[in-house]
Amino acid sequence: MITTIQYNSRKLQIDLSKPLDISIPMRASKSNVNAWYVDAPKIEPVKDGDWVATVKDGACINFNNIEFNPHAHGTHTECVGHITNKVHSVNQNLKQFFFLAEVITVAPENYLKDKVISKKQLQFALGNKRRDAVVLRTIPNTKEKLSRQYSNTNWPYLLKDAVELLVKKGIKHLLIDTPSIDREKDECELLGHNAFWNTKGKLRMDATITELIFVPHTIPDGEYFLNLQIAPFENDATPSKPVLYKVMS
């Protein structure tokens, strides 16, 4: 189903029959992707005495409670409320859901004892392209990312000046396949988050960061139309389902 969309001053052709889901599904399993030192998510039936809310146990319905942390247990989208005194809601501040995005692949560089993504790398990958969103795939890029236990692994992160470059380029939505754009243990400096949301100036309330995505190798670098779907939680972060569509013209 090829559709022509007027987006800003451009007419984009996309095939709605070929969505590219880059989210990681949540499962009640210890092999579910995990970060930030918390237990695995739980999906369990409601119980009332001897009654268990599953069809296999004699109920007429399946009726589950779900316990999870959006930051730790899968693909999630967060807003500035993640790091401000007032807990702003991503559901209240993300009001548009379709964006022109660029998928880029970066091999993190060595920096002291860390692996980092630098300003130079992002400048090379993006050039003078004008995009609303950047989808950042790090390599190596294996399916192990779908179940990786990230706690205490010191994952690759973005240097502050790399984030500042994205802000300067007008990037409103940053998507990455790690648990955070910042260092796992950074004494709560959160340099990347603070730079992206401009916490020392006018807050970028409509800007979002989406973490723990997975971009398979079958999705080449390039221009895409992004549908950033979120669950309507009134919270700083919510589970999300970013979907890409290849721009055909």
Q: Determine the average pLDDT of the residues in 145-156.
A: 98
Distance from CA of residue 16 to its chain's centroid? Answer: 21
Q: Residue 162: in which H helix or E strand, if any?
A: helix 160-168
| Residue from 73, 53, 56, 77 nearest 65 by CA | 53
Q: Determine the average pLDDT of the residues in 132-148.
A: 98
Q: Residue 99 pLDDT > 80, yes or no?
A: yes
Q: Determine the average pLDDT of the residues in 172-177.
A: 98
In terms of C-beta density within 10 A (0-12 exposed, 13-18 middle, 19 or more buried), how is residue 130 classed?
Answer: exposed
Q: Residue 180 pLDDT > 90, yes or no?
A: yes
Q: Determine the average pLDDT of the residues in 108-132.
A: 97
Name the CA dihedral angle for 169, 175, 176, 180, rounded to a multiple of 10 degrees: 90
pLDDT in tens, 18-36: 999 999 999 999 999 999 9
Q: Determine the average pLDDT of the residues in 79-90.
A: 97
Residue 185 tokens read as 């243990």
With beta carbons less than 8 A apart as the criterion, state whether 225 and 65 touch: no
Q: Residue 249 pLDDT > 80, yes or no?
A: no
The predicted structure's pLDDT at residue 101: 98
pTM: 0.97
Q: Residue 61 pLDDT > 80, yes or no?
A: yes
| Residue from 192, 188, 194, 175 nearest 99 by CA | 175
Q: Residue 41 pLDDT > 90, yes or no?
A: yes
The predicted structure's pLDDT at residue 230: 98
The predicted structure's pLDDT at residue 188: 95
Q: Where are the beta strands (DSSP E) in 26-94?
A: 42-45, 47-48, 51-52, 64-67, 76-78
Q: Residue 90 has what DSSP assignment?
A: H
Q: Which residues contact 125 (CB under 8 A, 6 or more apart)?
A: 102, 104, 105, 106, 221
Q: Determine the average pLDDT of the residues in 207-235.
A: 98
The larger pLDDT score, comparing residue 96 to residue 8, is at 96
% the chain with pLDDT above 70: 100
Alpha carbon distance 166, 135 (integer Å): 12
Q: Determine the average pLDDT of the residues in 64-91.
A: 98
The predicted structure's pLDDT at residue 222: 97
Q: Which CATH architecture has domain 2-26+70-246?
A: 3-Layer(bba) Sandwich (3.50)
The larger pLDDT score, comparing residue 10 to residue 126, is at 126
Distance from CA of residue 141 to its chain's centroid? Answer: 16
Q: Determine the average pLDDT of the residues in 199-212.
A: 98
Q: Which residues contact 38 (CB under 8 A, 6 or more apart)?
A: 69, 72, 73
With beta carbons less than 8 A apart as the criterion, state whether 65 and 44 touch: yes
The predicted structure's pLDDT at residue 1: 83
In whole numbers, what is the pLDDT of the chain averaged over residues? Answer: 97
Q: Which residues contact 12 (CB under 8 A, 6 or more apart)?
A: 4, 5, 6, 100, 225, 247, 248, 249
% the chain with pLDDT above 90: 97
Q: Residue 91 pLDDT > 90, yes or no?
A: yes
